[in-house]
């Protein structure tokens, strides 16, 4: 008798849910099965639902979780959080044919499935969508423009140049643009790549040919890969600065796509104004569209980010824990999410809830933070500008090395309040050179917003690493 009641209640749950959600979601709803008794709260306020459709789980979890939980309460009158579990064995049991109504909506459903099938070809990561991006004041302009591009690729804001320090969401937005375009325009071709990958493939095409004929064929394939697309997303574009052959290929690829009305999006860990060696003709192409800078999120945004990440990771945390993590990890979203991942993994293994005290213990946050040193500053500046730290204290004069060196000198004075003589010894310079470089950069930062952003980001990175 109890089994019959459970079955009837589940069927009612599915029926009500089908009526609430869009038609294209129905094929995924019919594949759902209860992993726990529907009418009994047997898992501390969590109800598990099984499905064989991994992409269907992602869509339901990210877009329609609220409706699923509301329907569950409506049917059972038991307040529970829903979690989805992948069970590929269900596929063998669910060999039913789609209904007439489902067949009518199959093209729309297929659009969604195309996203799962095509993301590997496009280079997109399924977890980076607009639905799980937390918009804050720090990212509002970039988020709104990215949404507009995804709704009408190639029509305005072309190119989009997203800038911001590491771990703030640039890559997330690029992938989100790609996913939404695939969903709305499944016939469009999308290519996501990193600038370094673009450059390496170019060099490989140029250097591995034994004849002019082979060279022409390899270059044709390389160019087809990046020019026969409707949307090109190039990440870490700062990598090309000073690499003449790659810059030339990017320029020609840009012109081919732009004049064909195709959408182009670049992302960089520094503003366009901080590019020193890029040719003027390529710089002007980047400036044809719009630059949107993402800065470090405020406390409330960081708190919302870690809470959203916790929900998607299926290990929710309290507001108190979320705020504590947001305060402790304040300069890099990757570090914030990584801290949550480590703490929640230990808590899950031990079978306990995550409290502030446990976070402190698991992440060893009560250990005294070491005092910032000149070496910390040099190391951070070297990583930021992607050079070897030894070059900062050398006599090398390459553009990125000089830039990293002057910021390291400036911050050694500003953050540590060391004498110019002490700093001079650290950088193997005479003290008059140190005074000049410090004062010059100080004035430049006051007048140049882009340089102020770089300085602020370096300060955040230095403080968070110590």
261: CATH? 3.40.50.300
Is the pLDDT at 271 greater than 60? The verdict is: yes
Q: Tell me which of 293, 313, 336 is where a domain ends.
A: 293
Residue 347: its pLDDT value, please?
86
Share of the chain above pLDDT 70, in %: 90
State pLDDT tens for residues 157-208.
Answer: 999 999 988 888 999 999 999 989 988 887 888 999 999 999 998 998 888 7
> Residue 101: which pLDDT band, with cuts at 50, 70 and 90?
very low
Q: Which two tokens stand for residue 10?
A: 């589940």
pLDDT band at 111 (very low <50, low <70, confident <90, very high): very low
Which residues are 33's β-sheet partners?
A: 50
How many Å apart are CA 168 and CA 177, to the nearest integer? 16
pLDDT for residue 86 is more than 70: yes
> Is the domain of 345 the same as that of 379?
no
Contact 301, 465 (CB under 8 A): no
Determine, yes or no, domain membership for 130. no
Query: 33-34 and 46-51 as β-strands: parallel, antiparallel, unpaired?
Result: antiparallel
Residue 443 has pLDDT above 50, yes or no: yes
Place of tokens 């044709």: 220
Q: Provide CB contacts within 8 A for 367, sequence distance 6+.
A: none
Domain of 37, CATH number, reads 3.30.300.180
- Tell me if 135 is assigned to some domain: no
CB contact at 8 A, 458 and 407? yes
pLDDT, position 314: 77
pLDDT per residue over 20-55, tens digit each?
888 767 778 888 999 888 888 877 788 889 887 776
Q: Contact 115/183 with Cβ under 8 angstroms? A: yes
Q: Are residues 387 and 305 in the same domain?
A: no
Q: Supply the pLDDT for residue 461.
A: 85
Alpha carbons 395 and 86: distance in angstroms, whole number: 57
Residue 245 lies in a domain: yes
* Residue 133: predicted pLDDT: 92
The pLDDT of residue 272 is: 87
Domain count, the chain: 4
Same domain, 288 and 316: no
Kindly state whether residue 117 falls inside one of the protein's structural domains.
no
- pLDDT tens per residue, range 293-334: 998 888 899 999 999 888 878 788 899 999 999 988 877 888
- What are the structure tokens assigned to 41, written together? 């709260």
Q: Is residue 197 domain-shared with residue 272, that is, in the same domain?
A: yes
Question: Is the separation of the CB atoms in 162 and 292 below 8 Å?
Answer: yes
**pLDDT tens-digit profile of 201-250?**
899 888 877 788 888 888 999 999 899 999 999 999 999 998 999 999 99
Q: 71: which 2 tokens?
A: 């329907």
Residues 279 and 211 in one domain: yes
- H-only helix segments in 228-260: 244-258
Rounded CA separation 409/110 (Å):
57
Q: How confident is the model at residue 466 (pLDDT cuts 50, 70, 90)?
A: low
DSSP state string for 394-428? SS---HHHHHHHHHHHHHHHHHH---HHHHHHHTT
pLDDT at 288: 92
More confident residue, 114 or 337: 337
CA–CA gap between residue 108 and residue 87 (Å, rounded):
24
Length of the chain, in residues: 466
In this prediction, residue 90 carries a pLDDT of 62
Query: pLDDT of 132-170, one tens digit each?
Result: 899 988 899 999 999 999 999 998 899 999 998 888 899
**Of the ranges 122-131, 263-272, 319-328, 410-419, which one carries the lowest mean pLDDT score?**
122-131
Give domain status of residue 92, yes or no: yes
d(CA 18, CA 15): 5
Neighbours of 26 (CB within 10 A): 20
Q: Looking at the structure, tell me whether residues 278 and 314 fall in a common domain.
A: no
Contact 317, 344 (CB under 8 A): yes
Confidence of residue 106 (pLDDT cuts 50, 70, 90): very low
End-to-end CA distance of the chain: 63
With residues binned 3-state (H G I as helix, E B as strand, rest as coil), the percentages for the chain, rounded to 5, are: 60, 10, 30
For the chain, the average pLDDT equals 85
Per the CB < 8 A criterion, the answer to whether 318 and 352 are in contact is no
Of the three residues 48, 75, 98, the one that is the final residue of a domain is: 98
Global confidence as pTM: 0.59
440 by DSSP, 3-state: which?
A: helix
Are residues 350 and 379 part of one domain? no
105, pLDDT greater than 70 = no
User: Is residue 407 predicted with pLDDT exceeding 90?
Assistant: yes
Decide if 330 contacts 295 (C-beta within 8 A): no
Spatial separation of the C-alpha atoms in residues 62 and 192, rounded to whole Å: 23
Predicted local confidence at residue 176, as pLDDT: 93
- Predicted pLDDT at 94: 42
User: Helix or strand or coil: residue 258?
Assistant: helix
pLDDT over threshold 80, residue 433? yes
- Do 173 and 53 reside in the same domain of the chain? no
CATH code (residue 432):
1.10.1750.10
Lookup: tokens for 429: 């310079």
Q: Which residue has the higher pLDDT, 98 or 409?
A: 409
Q: Is residue 128 part of a domain?
A: no
Residue 248 CA neighbour count, 13 Å, CB half: 4
pLDDT for 151: 92
> Is 260 found in the same domain as 160?
yes
Q: Within this chain, do residues 348 and 382 fall inside the same structural domain, yes or no?
A: no
SS3 for 171-228, per residue?
HHHHHHHHHHHHHHCCCCCEEEEEHHHHHHHHHHHHHCCCCHHHHHHHHHHHHHHHHC
Q: How far apart are CA 181 and CA 190, in angstroms?
A: 8
* Whether pLDDT at 91 is above 60: no
CATH number at residue 316: 1.10.8.60
**Do 283 and 311 belong to one domain?**
no
pLDDT of residue 209: 76
Q: What is the pLDDT of residue 403?
A: 92
Last residue within a domain, chosen from 336, 363, 390: 363
Q: Are 254 and 264 in contact (CB under 8 A)?
A: yes
- Helix extents (H) in 42-151: 54-63, 65-76, 90-93, 100-104, 106-122, 140-151
**Contact 407/429 with Cβ under 8 angstroms?**
no
pLDDT for 89 equals 65
Same domain assignment for residues 157 and 289: yes
Give the bridge partners for 50, in sequence order. 33, 85
pLDDT of residue 121: 59
What is the pLDDT at residue 51?
Answer: 85
- Cα three-residue angle 443-413-368, rounded to 5 degrees: 135
Select from 334, 331, 306, 330 the least CA-distant residue to 320.
306
At how many degrees (to 10) do helices 399-416 and 374-384 cross?
A: 140
Asked whether the predicted pLDDT for residue 73 surpasses 60, the reply is yes
Arithmetic mean of pLDDT, 406-424: 89
Residue 72 lies inside a defined structural domain of this protein: yes
In a domain, 425, yes or no: yes
Its domain, for residue 392, covers 374-465
The Cα 101–Cα 26 span in angstroms is: 9
- HSE (side-chain half, CA atoms, 13 Å) at 327: 10
Helix (H, G, I), strand (E, B) or coil at 173: helix
């Amino acid at each position: 008798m109890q089994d019959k009641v459970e079955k009837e209640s589940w069927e009612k749950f599915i029926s009500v849910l089908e009526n609430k959600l869009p038609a294209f979601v129905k094929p995924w709803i019919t594949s759902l099965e209860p992993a726990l008794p529907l009418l009994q709260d047997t898992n501390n306020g969590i109800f598990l639902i099984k499905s064989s459709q991994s992409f269907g789980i992602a869509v339901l979890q990210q877009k329609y979780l609220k409706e699923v939980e509301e329907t569950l309460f409506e049917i059972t009158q038991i307040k529970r959080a829903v979690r989805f579990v992948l069970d590929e064995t269900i596929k063998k049991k669910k060999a039913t044919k789609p209904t007439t109504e489902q067949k009518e909506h199959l093209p729309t459903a297929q659009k969604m499935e195309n996203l799962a099938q095509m993301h590997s070809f496009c280079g997109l990561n399924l977890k980076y969508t607009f639905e799980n991006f937390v918009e804050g004041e720090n990212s509002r302009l970039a988020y709104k423009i990215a949404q507009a591009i995804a709704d009408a690729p190639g029509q305005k804001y072309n190119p989009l140049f997203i800038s911001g320090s590491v771990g703030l969401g640039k890559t997330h937005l690029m992938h989100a643009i790609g996913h939404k375009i695939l969903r709305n325009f499944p016939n469009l071709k999308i290519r996501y790549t990193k600038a370094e990958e673009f450059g390496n493939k170019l060099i490989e095409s140029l250097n591995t040919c034994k004849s002019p004929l082979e060279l022409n064929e390899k270059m044709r394939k390389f160019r087809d890969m990046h020019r026969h697309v409707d949307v090109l997303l190039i990440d870490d574009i700062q990598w090309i600065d000073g690499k003449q052959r790659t810059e030339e290929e990017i320029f020609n690829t840009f012109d081919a796509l732009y004049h064909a009305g195709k959408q182009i999006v670049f992302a960089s860990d520094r503003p366009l104004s901080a590019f020193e060696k890029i040719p003027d003709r390529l710089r002007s192409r980047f400036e044809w569209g719009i630059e949107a800078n993402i800065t470090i999120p405020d406390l409330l945004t960081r708190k919302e980010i870690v809470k959203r990440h916790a929900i998607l990771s299926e290990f929710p945390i309290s507001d108190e824990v979320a705020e504590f993590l947001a305060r402790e990890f304040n300069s890099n979203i990757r570090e914030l999410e990584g801290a949550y991942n480590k703490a929640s993994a230990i808590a899950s293994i031990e079978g306990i809830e995550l409290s502030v005290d446990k976070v402190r213990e698991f992440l060893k946050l009560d250990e005294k933070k070491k005092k910032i040193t000149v070496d910390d500053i040099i190391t951070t500046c070297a990583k930021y500008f992607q050079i070897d730290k030894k070059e900062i204290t050398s006599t090398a004069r390459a553009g990125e090395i000089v830039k990293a060196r002057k910021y390291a000198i400036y911050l050694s004075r500003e953050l540590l309040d060391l004498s110019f003589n002490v700093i001079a010894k650290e950088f193997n310079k005479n003290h008059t050179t140190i005074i000049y470089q410090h004062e010059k950069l100080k004035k430049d930062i006051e007048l140049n917003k882009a340089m102020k952003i770089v300085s602020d980001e370096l300060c955040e990175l230095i403080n968070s690493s110590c």
